[in-house]
Structure 1
Amino acid sequence: MNFVKTFVRNMSRKQLKNWEPLKKVGIIGVPFEKGQKKYGVSVAPAAVRSAGLIDQLKEIHGLDIKDYGDVEIPNRDEPVDVENMSHLPLVSAANKNLSVKVSQVLKEGRVAVTIGGDHSIGVGTVDGHYKVNEDMILIWVDAHADINTNKTSESGSVHGMPVALLVKELSDYWPYLPTMDWQVPQFSIKNLGYVGLRSVDEYERLAIEKYDVPAFAMEDIEEYGIKKSINHILQKLDPDGTKPIHVSFDIDSLDSLEAPSTGTSVRGGLTLREAIKLMEIIYATGRLRAIDLVEINPALGNDTDRKRTIEAGLCILKAGLGFSRRGTMPRGVLDLPVQTFHKSD
C-alpha cells in the first residue's frame, strides 16, 4: 500500500477533517533581484500576473483569491562589513517586509503564494511562516541546495544562502550580520527536504550528509519516480501527517527545456509533468500552507522562452492549489445532458 493510502488509513476522522485543503489564497509579489547578479527576476511578479495568474486560479472551483500586491522593496543600498555577501542590507530589508506580509496572509487563513524575485526571498517567506506555524516542514524544490554560507559560497550571491541563513543548526557558522538582527534562525534542518538537486557544492553536500537531510537528487528521482520520492520525504519529516507544509519552488528545478528563462539553469532537471505531480501530491495532504515561486527571469531568452517558463510556473501553482487535470464536474450535475431529436414531418 502506498504512503498516501497508509497515511489516510492511519489518520482519525477528526484529523482528516482538520486538514482539508484551504480554499483561500493570498498572492504576494516580491520584485527583488539583488540576491543574484542578473537583471530580470524583479519583473517576474508583474509578468506572471500579466500572463493571467488571477484568472487561471479562478478556474479552480471554490478558490477565494486575494492579491496583496507587492511588498515594499528598498532602493538604497548601504555598505556593510561582511565578506562575500552582496547587497546584504537590501536583502535583509526586503525579507523583513516579506516576513511580515507572509505572517499576515497566513493569520487570515489563506495559503501564502509568493511570487519572486530570486530565491533569497526564501528567508522572508519561511521566517514569516515559521512565526505562525513553528511545526512547519519545508520542501525545497531546486537544482541547487542553497545552503552555502558566505565562507563557502563561490559567488557571494545570497540567493545561494537562504537555507543556511534559516536553519538554527548552522547559525554558529555565520559572522555577525549587520541589518539581520530581525531574523533569528529557529527553523530546524531536521524539518527540511530537497527535491530536484543536481548542482550541489562540496560544503553543501557535507551539510546534507551531516544532518541526514532527505534529499532526492535527479538521479534518485529517475530511479524511484517523483511519487515515491516526495512521499518518502513527507513520511520522514512528518510521519504522523500533522505538520503544515511550505514548498519553496525554484523554477530552475525544471529542466532547461521546460523553463529556459531562468538565471542559473541546469540541464537534466524535472519535467513539468513531474513537477505538477509533486504539487498535486502535496496538495492532497491538505496541509500545504505556503508556496514560493522564484527565479523566473523574463529578461532572459526570446518570447517563446519567456512564455514557456511563465506558463510552467502557472501550472505548478495551479497544481498546488487544487487544479485537477482530470477536469471537474459541474456541481449538482450527475448525468450528461441528453438532447432529444424529433424527426420532422
Structure 2
Amino acid sequence: MSGTKLFSPVSIGDLSLSNRIVIAPMCQYSAQDGQMSDWHLIHLGTLANSGAGFLTIEATAVTPEGRISYGDVGLYDDACEAAMRRVLDGIRRWSDMPIGIQLGHAGRKASSELPWKGGSQLPPDNANGWKTVAPSAVPFKDSYDVPTALDSDGLARLRKAFADATARAARLDLAAVQIHGAHGYLLHQFLSPLSNKRTDAYGGSLENRMRFPLEIFETVRAAFPAGKPVTMRVSATDWAEGGWNIEETVAFAHALEERGCDAIHVSSGGLAFNQEIAIGPNYQVPFARAVKAATHMPVIAVGLITEFEQAEAILVTGDADLIAIARAALYDPRWPWHAAAHFGETVSAPSQYLRSQPRQYRTLFDGNASQK
C-alpha cells in the first residue's frame, strides 16, 4: 500500500494507472512528412521505462497544415500511422506503460520553423511553409501571414480529420486520446475572444466560442472506443487583457464534463504574443485548483513542477488528482524513480536495470516492467 498520494493508484475512465505521474506531451520536431522517426523510438522508449503512470505522445496533427512545424508528427495518412505503429511496437516489446496521444491542430500558429532554428512562422512561399487557417483572419503576430478564416466546409473537414485521426489512434490501440485545446492552437483560438472575431454561430458569446471545440470533443469521443478515456488540455487564461480567463475555463470544463470528458489537463497561455505570465513554481496550480473545485472529473496539474515534495503537496492539498511533468522528464528521465526513492516507494523498472537499484533503496524496484 502506497504511503504517498503521488504513488497511489488512480483511474481515468476505465484506465487504471499505477501512480499519478503523467509524462506530458512534448514536441520533438523530428518527424519527416508527419512520420515518426528513430528519434521518437529513443525518446518515447526512454520515457516508457521511467516508472511514470502514463506517457503521452506529443501534439499530433490531424491534417498536414495542422502541424506546428514541418518537423511535427501527424496521424493523417497511412504512412503516418505505419510509422507510429513501428515506434509503438518497439516500445511495447519492453514496456507495459499505458500510452496515449494528444491530437490537435495548430491553426494560425502552424507553419513554423524548428525552435532551434528560430521558431518564427514560415511564409506560404517557403519550401517548408504553408497557408494557415484559423477561426478568423487574425495573425498571431503582425509580422505573420494572415490566416484563412475557416468557412463551414473547412469546419466540416476538420471534424472529419479529427474523427479519422482518432480512428487511427484506436487502431494503434492507444490507451487514451487527449484533445489539444491549449497553448494558442486552433481550438484555443476558437475559445479566446482575442483570436475569434467571428459573427456566426461560432463566435461572439461564450456559448458560441465553445461550440466548435465541443463539437470536436463529441467527434473524438464518438470515434474512440467506449471506456477508453478522452480528455482535454486547456489553457486556463491567456494572461492578456480581454482574453480567455479562468471563469470561462470553468464553464468550458462543465460543458466538457457533461459530454463525458474523462479528465482535464490545466495549463495556460500561448495565445497572445503580448502575454504577461507571472511565472514561477506552481504558477498554474491555482487554475487546476479552481477547475477541480467546480467539477468531478480528474484534474491534471502542470507547470514548473520539478520537486518531489512539491508534486506530493499539490495532490495532498487537493489541488489536482495527477501531476504532469515535461521538461523535468527531459532533464531527468528517471524522475519517477528518484521520487519513489525519496519517498520510500516502489516503482516498476525493466529487468535489465534491476541491478542499478542503490543499496540504500532495497525495495525501490519491483521489476514489473521487465522484458515480455
State the TM-score, normalized to the length of structure 1. 0.36
- Give the structure, 1 or 2, with the largest relative contact order (CA under 8 Å, sep 6 or more): 1
